[in-house]
Each structure stands twice: as structure tokens, then as C-alpha cells.
Structure 1
Amino acid sequence: MSDRYLRFVESGFGRWFSRKAGLPQPVSLLRAAAGEPKLPTLVGGAPDSPLRATLDRLLAGMHLPDAPYAPKIHALIYDASGLTSIEALSDLYQFFHTHVRRVAGNGRIIVVGTPPEQASDASARIAQRALEGFVRSVGKELKRGITAQLLYLDPADPAAVDSTLRFFLSYRSAYVSGQVVRIGPPPAPAPADLDYSQPLKGRRALVTGASRGIGKSIAQVLARQGADIVALDVPAAEQGLREIAHRTHGQYVALDITAADAGAQLLGHGPFDIVVHNAGITRDRTLAKMSETEWSSVMAVNLLAPQRLTDALLAGNGLKPQAAVVCVSSISGIAGNLGQSNYAASKAGVIGLVQSLAPRLVAIGGSINAVAPGFIETEMTAKIPLGIREAGRRLNSMSQGGLPVDVAETIAWLADPSSRGVNGQIVRVCGQSLLGA
């Protein structure tokens, strides 16, 4: 779907007019197709921190040299793991105050801290918790497609930051900003021969709701990263399923996921290394006018089916060791939305599902997480009335809607075998929406 305002602002007159009128000034976001960033990164924080050696090693592997005198840089990374007092936060301020103007458009801000609950004392816990407000504010200030993230890293395994750092430094994370990600020791080591260009190579991935929109993009991105795709959707969508199976050189399953025997049928197509619960429906209506069918059908597809299918796969050995399960929630499940009490309840329930199943996935060396999309440009959002559609696009730090590929890239990061230290979490793909937490 075309964003005419974004195209207007990118013109010479549009840029001048939007500045004079005080209107949002979005910029085109660079995504995976743009390749890897070419500008250097700059790392701050205590040089003798235990984490600093790990960061230097990982960044060297990504070919991002430390260049303190470069006029423009792609990323600022600050190692805040050693901050143990409120007074020490002044060093955080000084580093970003000095260098933040050097960050190029579509650049990255990353702060790495210690989980507050693991801090040594009360002062350290306070200082580490303060990082959240700092990062989220920076993400709302910088604009120009620059994103900001906070990574809380368990000091027991600093190398576990690898895949997450790669994702947030890359252009694959274009529409993810203002997020707090906790990274613990993975339940099992990543394969030693992992190919970073195709980290999902040889892994079998089930994607529900795969015939169109976000699900179609998820299947394509996972296939691009090497996964063998099993695309699933309702029988009425079989033509779209055939098309995506052909594009990804995968297979398809036409199945109603709400059927009583859906779990048993899925076991016949497994086992799976990756399961993405993307299928979902809306039946929007204010609560007083909502029928029982509109309530129950949304619950059945969006929440009951992911729960029952995951339970069936776990019980029937339908998930391989170190499997990744990713559920698609929504910012409606976090912030609520007018006329979506059924949808918001189902998507909030998905968050509860992820948190409740996290220990069971750890037991098989795997992980389960959720992504919560904001306003994404799809056929569904194209039908929203113009005024509401424009508000959805502009009410975030990027001042524009996201694309299905933004959700897909985030899911691919969580599906990466080296991302198992991220578990039981919800990552918003919303351009740092101004709605919700």
C-alpha cells in the first residue's frame, strides 16, 4: 500500500513545507535489501568491563571498525553493564551528548546493561533500571530512521548477545525501536558451524496463516534464510498456499487450525524446528454490539488454536530439540483498542501463552517469544478509513507504517538457533508506537 505523504515529504517542496508547518518528517527506512551498513560504529563505556572484550570481538567479526574520528557513524553502542550508581549515569550522558549528532540516518543506538534484578545492590539496580527511560526517550528524539534499543545481558554468558546484536545493528530491524530485550544464557549452545548468511539452513519451519500478508512475508524471509517451509492456511486459501509453497520451494497444508484434530494432523507433517503462530482474524465491534460468535471465533483462531497446537506438538514430539516457537501478538493486546475487546483480549492472551510456555521450551533447549506488530501496511489496514489510517501511520517514532517484512525479519531473528537466550519475551514491531508501554 502506498504512503503518499511519505513520498511527498521526500520531495524538495514537501520537505520544506513539512518543516515550516511542523508536520511529521518521515524518511524512507533502509531494510535488508540495502545490504549491510558501511559506516563504522563507536563503543563507549568502561574499557575494562568484562563485556567490553566480548563486544569488541563480536564487532570485529561484523567488520564494523572502531573509528572515533569518523565524521559520520552507523551506530553508537554503550556498555552500561558496569554502572552501579546514579552518579555513574553521567558517563552515559556524556558519551551520547558528545557523539549522538554523528549518527547517520537509519543509524542505530544500542545500550547494553545488566538485568536490574541481577545487580549487586540497590544503587546498581536503580542505575540499571534508569536505562529504560533513557533509551526510549532517545528513540523518540532522533528521528531520521534511527532506532534505539536496550539489551539486558546476563553476565554469566556475554557471548549470547551475538545474534541479537547482529539483528539490531543491521537494516533488518528497521521498524523495531524503543525495545528492552533480556538475553540469558541459552539452554543449549548454537551449532558451531552456523552460517550467518543462512542461519536457518536445513530447519523445518511451520508458518500458519501463510497464504497472504504478513504470513506470506514470514514464509519468504524464513526461506531466504535457509528454512524448509511448511505453509499452512484454511482450505479456502489453498490457491495462495500453492503460490507461496512454489515461491519458497516448500510444502503446504490446507487445514482449519480450530478443528478438534488439527494438532494430530500437524504431527503428521512434523517434527518442526520452527513454528510461527501467525494466523489471526478480526471481528471488530464495540462490546455492547458484539455477538457471541464474533467473540468466540476470534478467541478460537487467535488464542485457543496456538495453545492447543503447541501443546499437541510438545506432547507428541512434534518439536525438535532447540526448537523456536514465535507467536504473533499485537500492540492492541498491550494498549487495547476501540472496538477490539475480543481481538485485544486474544492478543494479550498470546503474551500470557508465551510467558507460561517459556519454561517448557527451555526444557527441550528451545525458546518461545512473541512479536507485537503496530500499524503494518497490509490489505487489512488499507481498508481502514483515511483519518484513522493516517493516525496509525504517524503515531510512532518513525512517523510511518511498517511493512510485513519488518515483522518477518524480527521473527527470523528469534528463530535463529543462536537466539535461544531470548525466551518468554514480547518484542514490538511498531516503529516505537506512542501507544502502550
Structure 2
Amino acid sequence: MSVHPHFTRAHTDDLVSFVQASPSPYHAVASAAERLEKAGFRQVQETEAWDGEKGGRYVLRGGAIIAWYVPEGARPETPFRIMGAHTDSPNLRVKPRPDMGSAGWRQIAVELYGGPLLNSWLDRDLGLSGRLTLRDGTSRLVNVDRPLLRVPQLAIHLDRGVNDNGLTLDKQRHMQPVWGLGKVTDGDLIDFLAEEAGVTGSEVTGWDVMAHDVQPPAYLGRDRELLASPRMDNLLSVHAATSALAAVAGQDLAYIPVLAAFDHEENGSESDTGAQGPLLGNVLERSVHARGGDYEHRQRALAGTVCVSSDSGHAVHPNYVERHDPTHHPRANGGPILKTNVNQRYATDGSGRGIFTAACERVGVPFQHFVSNNSMPCGTTIGPITAARHGITTVDVGVAILSMHSARELSGADDPHLLASALKSFIES
């Protein structure tokens, strides 16, 4: 079966809505949960007992979501088909003492998260989003999705050689955004965010807040065949996997499909909500036990489990072709990429590659291969972490984009649906 253009664009339209509703990891998991709820999934609490009945369930923790669907007839040793992704993106995050200023300007103290392209955050209208922790232990999402902050670049008249010598930014001195004029008062920002969230500043005891680009995603080009969007790395994959999981709910499946969308991939995944943490393993183990299984059943289930780690990859750049491997030039709208690195920065091997290519071929989705230029080290993903931590076959895939880690990235408009179609085929085959 081939992919119809009408459904391709409808999927990308929904991705645009998902990205708009997900300026932070906490909003992203809430958006994913909302879509799963509509497909019949229900939230379960980690502190409560789980049942082994068929149907869809999900666990939320911070900026991570683990969701799974137990089909009719699933046994304790039934293997899993896991779609892994991450909810976080490089950005600017608010410090514990955020109110600062200089020379009559009020500013917000921020810390760099992950590896952002710093220049892409200059002279851009920014909002603030994230979560506020309240005195009673609950949290409240906050999203100021309008122009609020700006990191102003130095005028060329004061840096005459910038176009010849390159832009040099000091991460501490040059990346603090402005948001007003006048006297700096401690508590101003948190009082403002609390009001936006419908609480008082005195109720707020902690926060995880970040800047985001308020310009909405947009189709680009004469034929609208490209998509420009913030947070494409890696909300594109989170949305694709969520859509795939929701689409198979109710089917008679041979495997138990799982969505594992982690936080903190951009800085090493070492947290209770990251891929290095125990969250996924705990959920899989408890799922086995809820269906009457024991350690032996769990080991048998994992032995037959496969994970597709989906994260953005590099499309060949028309202005920097020499930076890419000369025989591997992934292109936009060319379908998902299979990412390979023999030094295990990606987890793909021959067997995993065979499983994913078969899933693509089953539904007529084209696919491509990516390896890095030997002269340049490649990035990594949750793939190797997942393979090593859980001992399961893992394959790294994604969508080829330009401007990775920019405040605004670029992909083909057809690729999101092609990836989702391949993931759906993977979990239902």
C-alpha cells in the first residue's frame, strides 16, 4: 500500500498543531496524552497497582511519557515493539534567581540547555513556558506564547568586522534576554508567570521554565513542500510515534506496542525521566508482572523485543555538501533515514536494519541511509543507551532535516507522515 498525499498533508497539519501546543517537554507529554486519551488510553499511577487487562495505558513523569497497548490474548512473555524518542530540545532555561538587569534594561537570567545554535536565538521573539511547582507539591503548566523576551544582537556599527571575522558569542554575557526597562525587582518574573498560570507568586516554590520561539510552524517554498518549525528535533518523532500507537489501538497484534518519549536526551539522558534512568525498564517489568509473569517471562519478552529509536538526522546541505559523506546524501521528502555508526553512536546493525526496511516496504514508504563523514564525529541518540541498558535489538532512524539545534529547523513536509507510516507498520507487523 502506498502513502496518499492527502493523508500526508493532514498528518503534517496535525504535527503543526502538536508543536504549537508543546513549547516545553511538559506540554509535549500532555499533548501526547491528550491524543492517546482520545484513542481509549488511560493514565495509570506509578504508586498504584496495575492490572493486566487488555487496552491502552500510559505513565507520565515530568517531561517523559511511557505508553503501551496490551492486545487481546497477550501473554506474560509477549515481546514489545518500542518506539523511542525524546521531548526536549536545546534552548534557554530560566535560572533559580531570574531577575537581573544592566544599563537600565530588565533582563532574565538564563542557562543554556543542550547544544543550541546560539546565533539562531538572537533577535527572535521569545515566549516562556514550562511548569511551576506549588507549595502543596502539585505543579501547574505555564505557557506565555507571545513576544516577551529578546536576545538583542550587537549592531554592526559596533562590531564592524562581524561579517568578515565571524560572530563570537560569550555564553554568559551575550545570551541574557531583555524583557523590559527600569528597576530590577526580585520576584518579578515568577509573580508574572504565576499570574499567567492562575496562581499567586507566594504559592510557587520551584520552576522549570524555558524560552521558546513564538513564530508558528509554516509551510515553506513555492509548492509548500517544506516545513519550517521550532523543536522539530525531536517533537516530529514524538508526534509520529504517538500517532502510530493511537492508530493501532484495538487491533489484534502479535506484539505489545510501546511509546517511550524521554526527557533530557540533549544533555546525556542521565535523569529519572531520561533514557539512562529506570523508567522504561520499570514499566516493561510491571507490565509483564501485571499479566501474571515473573522474571523468566520478562527475560523472554525482552529477548524478542525490538526498539526503533527515532530522532532527527542531517539532510544534505546544499551550501556545505563537503561536510557530508560523499556516498550518503539524505534528502528532504525522501523518507525516513536509517542511521548507522560502527562505533555505536547509533545502535543500528544489519538485523535491525532488516526489520525496519521490511516495515517500510510493507507500506510502500521509501527510506534512506545516513552515515557521517569520517572526518567529523557524529552525534548520538537514546538508541545505544536503550540497547545497552535493556539488552534489546535497537535500530536508529529519523527524518532528515536542515538547521538541527537551531531555534527553527527545516524538513520536508511529507517526511513526518512517511515516518509515522513506517512506525505504524513496525509495531503492527
State the TM-score, normalized to the length of structure 2: 0.25
| Greater fraction of residues in strand | 2
State the TM-score, normalized to the length of structure 1: 0.25
Higher RCO (C-alpha under 8 Å, 6+ residues apart): 2
| Greater fraction of residues in helix | 1
